[in-house]
Amino acid sequence: MRLRGKREAAATALNKQPAVHPVFILIAIIAVTVILLGLVNHFTAARIEGIREERAYRSMLAVLPAADIFTPVPYTGNKVEALYGAYSGTELLGHVAAVTAQGFGGEISMTVGVDLDGKVTGVDIVSHSETPGVGSAVTEQDFLSRFVGKSGTVTVNAGGNRIDAVTGATLSSKAVAAGVNAALSAVASLG
C-alpha cells in the first residue's frame, strides 16, 4: 500500500490527476448497465410470462383433460394458492387448484383437479425439491393416480380413506396428500 501511495503521489505531482471523479465513472457504468437490463427485460418479459402461463395451462389440462378453458375463481382462503373453474366451452366441469405443500426437501407445487362431485380427477407436480430417486418418486403417475376418485380427507397408509405411500418416501407422500386435501377442502368451501 505504501508503494502505491508513493506512486500516486508521484503521479499527482506530475499533474496526472484523474480526468473525471471516480464516482461519476461508476454512475455512468451503472446507468448503462441499468438501461441495458431494462431493454432486455422489456423484450423478454412477454415471452417469459407466456411460457409460465403455458406451463400452468398444461398442468391444469393434465389433471382435468376434458376441460379447455380455466378461469380464476375469487378465493379468499389460505389453503391453496389459487382456484380455477374448469370449463369445456361454457359448461363447468369442475375446479382446479394450485397448491403448495411442505415436502421433505422444500415446497412442493402441485395442481389438483376436482370434479363437481368433490372427487379428485388428477394430480400433477409442478415443482419440488425432494430427494432424487427417493422422494422424487411421488411425481410419477404410479403414485399420483392413487388419488384419483378420492374425496373428503385422504390419509396415508392408515385409515378408511387412504392411499399407500411410496416405499421409503412417506414424508413426501404425506406432503402430496396434504396438498390434495387442501385442494379438496378449498373446492368444498366454494359451496
Partner 1 sequence: MKPLGILKNGLITQNPVLMQLLGLCPALAVSTSLKNAVGMGIAVTAVLVLSNLLASLLQKPVPDKIRSLVHITVTAGLVTIADLLMRAYFPDLSASLGIYVPLIAVNCILFARAGAFASGTPPLASVLNGLFMGLGFTGILCAVSAVREILGNGTIWGVSLFGGGYPPALIMLMPAGGFLTLGFLMAAAQYAGRRNHP
Q: Which residues bind partner 1 (CB under 8 A)?
A: 18, 22-23, 25-26, 29-30, 33-34, 36-37, 40-41, 44, 47-48, 51, 55, 127, 131-134
* Dist CA 58 CA 76 (whole Å): 25
Nearest to 82, CA basis, from 185, 183, 189, 152 = 183
Contact 97, 83 (CB under 8 A): yes
Min. distance of Cβ 142 from partner 1 in angstroms?
14
> Measured from the CB atom, is 17 or 76 closer to partner 1?
17
What region, left, alpha or beta, does residue 94 occupy, with left being phi > 0 and alpha being psi -120 to 50 degrees? Answer: left
Contact 111, 60 (CB under 8 A): yes
> Measured from the CB atom, is 11 or 190 closer to partner 1?
11
> Measured from the CB atom, is 18 or 191 closer to partner 1?
18
> Measured from the CB atom, is 64 or 166 closer to partner 1?
166
Min. distance of Cβ 40 from partner 1 in angstroms?
5
Nearest to 103, CA basis, from 69, 124, 127, 83 = 127
Min. distance of Cβ 56 from partner 1 in angstroms?
13
> Measured from the CB atom, is 9 or 29 closer to partner 1?
29
Min. distance of Cβ 166 from partner 1 in angstroms?
14
Contact 122, 113 (CB under 8 A): yes
Min. distance of Cβ 64 from partner 1 in angstroms?
23
Cell 500516486, located at residue: 8
